């Protein structure tokens, strides 16, 4: 779904807790006369009205997309991995006192011939490694107290809380370290006293970084997933085992399809003993508009079929938890993804091979005076699809897992110029063999996506001290 054109009959709740934007920019709003403060169709058209100097970030000098690869001497020291199509630096019309002589392509006040990063606005000329190539043009990863710069093609694992006095620029990939029980795992909080930029082709990847799904139990039904709102394991078979249910967060997780005449509710959510039974998906937790945020919960595992041990399908992992908070601006042209992960398929050679439940979407929070993003941008906290049931070896009698519920996305921005996509759908149910005794899973429910113009006090000012 798109927030950029909020015609929203859907679940995007942009009401109530809301003050009208104080922005000097005139939003491109088509009023229907009924809404009072929804961030509706805020396009990025600025009128050029003078900004409030205290609150309006100067993106002309701070957020010009880097043209990293072309403006530094390339060597082979970059990490291997996906390459990104470097975005083209843009020229703006900022004028002012210029150091050096000649053109100033990026308008940062430093003439091209002496600018250490001539196509990226960097008036501070930061150069952490002292090689005369500016930080935002360099080929190496830079992670100091001042700057985080992830160059194109570089993947950088991170978790926990990190605060920078200067800019954060992500042109490659920041991989959220999955939850493992270690403190801060699965969670990433990036804060900047200035601005955060995720370039087109860059991403923060928290897919499946939340709580693990349940694992197949030694016998009986599968284990439930982990987390505050896990999916239940599916019951054992006599002989057909049931699938697991999806994890929940912003939306509830789906169950295996209860339409089969054999299915019945389980009395235990984990390692149930009643044949063919199924347990509920994880329920809805958290708030739609508070500052709370959670990891996504895992789906439940499918059960053991009769005559099988340690079979059944694991549940999928929930999505991770990412927050991006900056004093001036957050601009996302690439992706910030905290989707749940799809369960692996049970391909053991025993029994009726059910599907596990999908993990729920995770949590994503963004807060800054200005939030921007191009059409290419994606903010996603989708629930994962339920696991596929392969059925028995002749592809009959397979019962699949339920989809994970969608997660939660919360954006707090007095000035809202994001035109990309929000995705908080629940996962679809797992697929199943074509015969009439096989059943899929039910879809998880949609999560929540919120964009409001008031920054909660707790997020209002980033200070790394």
- Answer yes or no whether residue 122 interacts with Ca ion by CB under 5 A: yes
Strand bridging mode 142-143 / 148-150: antiparallel
- Answer yes or no whether residue 138 interacts with Ca ion by CB under 5 A: yes
Q: How far is the CB of 129 from Ca ion (least distance, A)?
A: 5
Nearer Cβ to Ca ion (140/205) = 140
Structure tokens that stand for 365 in this block: 């929070």
Residue 292 Cα distances to 165, 249, 289, angstroms: 24, 12, 8
- Answer yes or no whether residue 106 interacts with Ca ion by CB under 5 A: yes
Near Ca ion by CB under 5 A: residue from 117, 148, 188, 204: 117
Stretch of residues binding Ca ion (CB under 5 A), selected from 14-22, 98-106, 151-159, 437-445 = 98-106
Stretch of residues binding Ca ion (CB under 5 A), selected from 118-126, 164-172, 307-315, 404-412 = 118-126
- Answer yes or no whether residue 108 interacts with Ca ion by CB under 5 A: yes
Sheet holding 160-164, edge to edge: 160-164, 187-192, 321-326, 363-367, 408-412, 448-452
Near Ca ion by CB under 5 A: residue from 3, 42, 133, 462: 133
- Answer yes or no whether residue 67 interacts with Ca ion by CB under 5 A: no
Nearer Cβ to Ca ion (115/146) = 115
- Answer yes or no whether residue 205 interacts with Ca ion by CB under 5 A: no
Contact 115, 132 (CB under 8 A): no
- Answer yes or no whether residue 169 interacts with Ca ion by CB under 5 A: no
Q: Is the dihedral of CA 333, 334, 336, 342 positive or negative?
A: positive
- Strands of 251-407, DSSP E: 264-265, 277-278, 321-326, 329-332, 335-337, 363-367, 370-373, 378-380
Nearer Cβ to Ca ion (110/425) = 110
Q: How far is the CB of 67 from Ca ion (least distance, A)?
A: 10
The H or E element spanning position 148 is: strand 148-150
Residues of this chain, 210-269, that bind Ca ion according to CB under 5 A: none
Instruction: Say how far apart CA 346 and CA 430 lie, in whole Å.
Output: 12
- Answer yes or no whether residue 113 interacts with Ca ion by CB under 5 A: no
Q: How far is the CB of 92 from Ca ion (least distance, A)?
A: 11
Strand bridging mode 370-373 / 329-332: parallel
457: helix, strand or coil:
helix
- Answer yes or no whether residue 115 interacts with Ca ion by CB under 5 A: yes
Instruction: Say how far apart CA 425 and CA 364 lie, in whole Å.
Output: 14
Longest dimension (CA), the chain: 83
Near Ca ion by CB under 5 A: residue from 52, 85, 131, 184: 131
Nearer Cβ to Ca ion (120/216) = 120
- Answer yes or no whether residue 104 interacts with Ca ion by CB under 5 A: yes
Stretch of residues binding Ca ion (CB under 5 A), selected from 138-146, 206-214, 296-304, 386-394 = 138-146
| Positions that interact with Ca ion (CB under 5 A) | 104, 106, 108, 110, 115, 117, 122, 127, 129, 131, 133, 138, 140
């Amino acid at each position: 779904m798109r927030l950029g054109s909020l015609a929203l009959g859907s679940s995007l709740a942009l009401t109530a807790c809301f003050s009208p934007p104080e922005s000097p920019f005139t939003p491109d709003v088509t009023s229907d006369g009924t809404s009072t403060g929804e961030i509706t169709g805020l396009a990025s058209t600025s009128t050029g009205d003078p900004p409030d100097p205290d609150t309006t970030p100067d993106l002309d000098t701070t957020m010009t997309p880097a043209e990293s690869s072309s403006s530094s001497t390339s060597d082979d020291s970059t990490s291997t991995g996906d390459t990104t199509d470097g975005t083209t630096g843009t020229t703006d019309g900022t004028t002012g006192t210029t150091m050096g002589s000649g053109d100033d392509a990026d308008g940062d006040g430093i003439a091209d011939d002496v600018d250490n990063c001539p196509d990226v606005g960097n008036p501070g000329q930061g150069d952490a490694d002292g090689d005369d190539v500016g930080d935002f043009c360099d080929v190496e990863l830079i992670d100091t107290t001042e700057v985080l710069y992830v160059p194109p093609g570089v993947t950088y694992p991170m978790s926990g809380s990190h605060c920078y006095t200067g800019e954060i620029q992500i042109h490659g990939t920041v991989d959220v370290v999955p939850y493992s029980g270690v403190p801060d795992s699965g969670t990433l909080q990036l804060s900047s006293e200035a601005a955060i930029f995720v370039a087109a082709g860059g991403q923060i990847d928290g897919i499946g970084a939340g709580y693990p799904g349940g694992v197949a139990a030694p016998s009986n039904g599968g284990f439930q997933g982990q987390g505050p709102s896990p999916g239940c394991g599916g019951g054992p078979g006599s002989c057909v085992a049931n699938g697991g249910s999806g994890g929940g967060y912003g939306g509830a997780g789906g169950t295996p399809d209860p339409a089969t005449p054999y299915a019945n509710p389980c009395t235990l959510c984990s390692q149930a003993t009643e044949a063919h039974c199924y347990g509920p998906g994880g329920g809805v937790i958290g708030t739609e508009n508070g500052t709370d945020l959670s990891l996504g919960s895992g789906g439940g595992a499918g059960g053991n079929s009769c005559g099988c041990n340690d079979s059944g399908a694991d549940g999928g992992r929930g999505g991770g938890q990412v927050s991006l908070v900056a004093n001036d601006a957050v601009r996302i042209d690439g992706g910030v993804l905290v989707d749940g992960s799809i369960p692996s398929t049970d391909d053991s050679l025993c029994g009726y091979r059910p599907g596990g439940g999908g993990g729920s979407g995770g949590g994503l929070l963004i807060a800054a005076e200005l939030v921007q993003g191009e059409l290419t941008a994606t903010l996603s906290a989708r629930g994962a699809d339920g696991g596929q049931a392969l059925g028995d070896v002749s592809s009959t009698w397979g019962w699949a897992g339920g989809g994970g519920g969608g997660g939660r996305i919360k954006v707090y921005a007095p000035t809202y110029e994001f035109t990309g996509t929000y995705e908080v759908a629940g996962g679809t149910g797992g697929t199943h063999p074509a015969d009439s005794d096989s059943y899929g899973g039910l879809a998880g429910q949609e999560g929540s996506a919120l964009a409001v113009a008031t920054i909660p006090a707790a997020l209002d000012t980033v200070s790394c001290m």
